[in-house]
Structure 1
Amino acid sequence: MSFRPPPGQPPGAQQVPEPLTPPPAFIPPQPAPFRGDPRAIERCLFRFTYVWLVNGEQFWFFPVFIGTRSVAGFRWTGRSWRQTGFDLRLIFAFTCF
C-alpha cells in the first residue's frame, strides 16, 4: 500500500496518516485466540485496534500498512503515538473499532 504525498511534497515522499486522537479509554475483552489467515487484520486498517501478542504484551495499535508477513502503524504509549511494526506471527489476538 502506498500513500500519495500532499500537494507541494516531492514525489516519492509518503504521508503516513497518524491518528489525531488517543485510542478509546478502555481495554476491550480479549477475543478467542487468533487463528487462521494472518492477514485477517486487514479489516482493521486505519482503525483503533487492540492487540495481544504471544509474549503477553498488549496495547492499542493503529495499523496503516499490512505486508505479507508484517504490520506497521502506530502504537499508543499512554501519552502519544509512536511508529512501530512487527511480524504478523507475533499476534495472539486482536480486536478493532
Structure 2
Amino acid sequence: MDANYIDSYYYPRFLDSQFPSPSFPGSPGGFPGSPGGFPGSPGGGQQAPTSPPPAFIPQQQTATPFAVDPGAISLCLFRNTYIWLRNGSSFWYYPIFVGPRSVAGFRWNGRFWTIFGIDTRRIVSFTCF
C-alpha cells in the first residue's frame, strides 16, 4: 500500500473544497497557509507549523498488533506528533485531519513541513507533545 495513501472517500472531498485548481505555496487557491486554509482548524484556517518539531526523537511506546484507532490519534490534532510505521519508518508529524481510516497533516522532512496523508493501519504507534 502507498505511504501517501489517503482515505479514498473522505479525504478527496476534503481536498476538493480546499484545492479547487492547481496552485503553489504562496499563491491564491486554498493551499495550506493561504486564505481559507483547512476546514475545522483553530482560527478558521490551518497552516503548516511555522517552526521545526522538537530536536529529539522520543522513545517508542508499546506497539500494538492492531491498527491505530482514529479516536486515539485525534487527541494529537494540531500538536507535534512522532509516528512509527509498520515498515520501520518514523518521523515527526503535525496532524490536522483524522478520517475513519486515515490521517492528514504535515510531515517534517528534515528541512521543512510537507503535506502528507497516511492510512492509520500503517501506524504502529505514536506519541504527541
- Give the strand-richer structure, 1 or 2: 1
Q: Please say if 1:91 is aligned against 2:89.
A: no
Query: Can you give the 5+ residue segments of structure 1 that lack an aligned partner in the other structure?
Result: none
Q: For the Cα contact (< 8 Å) 1:30–1:93, is it kept in 2?
A: yes
TM-score w.r.t. the length of structure 1 is 0.82
- Alignment partner, residue 17 of structure 1: 47
Query: Can you give the 5+ residue segments of structure 2 that lack an aligned partner in the other structure?
Result: 1-13, 19-27, 30-34, 38-45
- Alignment partner, residue 59 of structure 1: 91
Question: What secondary structure is seen at the aligned counterpart in 2 of 1:84?
Answer: strand
CA displacement 1:16-74 (0-9 Å, x = unmatched): 32111100000000000145761110000000000000010000000000001100000
Q: How large is the Cα RMSD of the aligned pairs?
A: 2.2
Percentage identity across aligned positions?
Answer: 51
- Give the helix-richer structure, 1 or 2: 2
C-alpha separation in 1, matches of 2:90 and 2:67: 20
Question: What secondary structure is seen at the aligned counterpart in 1 of 2:53?
Answer: coil
TM-score w.r.t. the length of structure 2 is 0.63
C-alpha separation in 2, matches of 1:89 and 1:36: 4
